[in-house]
Amino acid sequence: MATKVIMPQLGESVVEGTITKWLKAEGEPVSEFDPLLEINTDKVDTEVPSPAGGTLLKVYVPEGQTVRAGTLLAMVGKPGESLPVEAPAPAEAPARAVESKPAATVEPKSAGKPARETGFISPVVARIAAEHDVDLTKITGTGQGGRVTRKDVLAFVEKRAPAAVAPWDTPSLGELFRPSEEVFGPQGTTAAKEAPSEAPATPGTILPLSVVRKAIADHMVRSRHTSPHVTTVMEADLSRVVAHRLANKDAFARDGVNLTFTTYFVSACVAALKAVPLANASWTDEGIHLHRQVNIGVAVSMGEQGLIVPVIKDSDQKSLLALARALNDLSGRARGHQLKPDEVQGGTFTITNHGVSGSLFATPIINQPQCAILGVGAIQKRVVVVEAPSPAGGAADVIAIRPMVYLTLTFDHRILDGAIADAFLGKVVSTLQAWA
**CA 187 – CA 185 distance, rounded (Å):** 6
Q: How many CB atoms lie within 10 A of CB 269?
A: 28
C-alpha count within 13 angstroms, C-beta hemisphere, residue 173: 18
Measured distance CA(326)–CA(174) in Å, rounded? 9
Contact predicate 380/359, CB 8 Å: no
Distance in angstroms (rounded) separating the CA atoms of residues 229 and 410: 6
Phi, psi (rounded to 5 degrees) for 290: -85, 120
Instruction: Tell me which residues are annotated as active site.
Output: 413, 417
- Cα–Cα distance list, 366 to 97, 221, 372 (Å): 35, 11, 6
- Quick one: three-class SS letters along 188-242? CCCHHHCCCCCCCCCCCCCCCCCHHHHHHHHHHHHHHHHCCEEEEEEEEECHHHH
Distance, CA of 16 to chain centre: 18
What φ, ψ does residue 68 adopt, rounded to 5°?
-85, 155
162: left (phi over 0), alpha (psi -120 to 50) or beta: alpha
Q: How far apart are CA 25 and CA 260, in angstroms?
A: 44
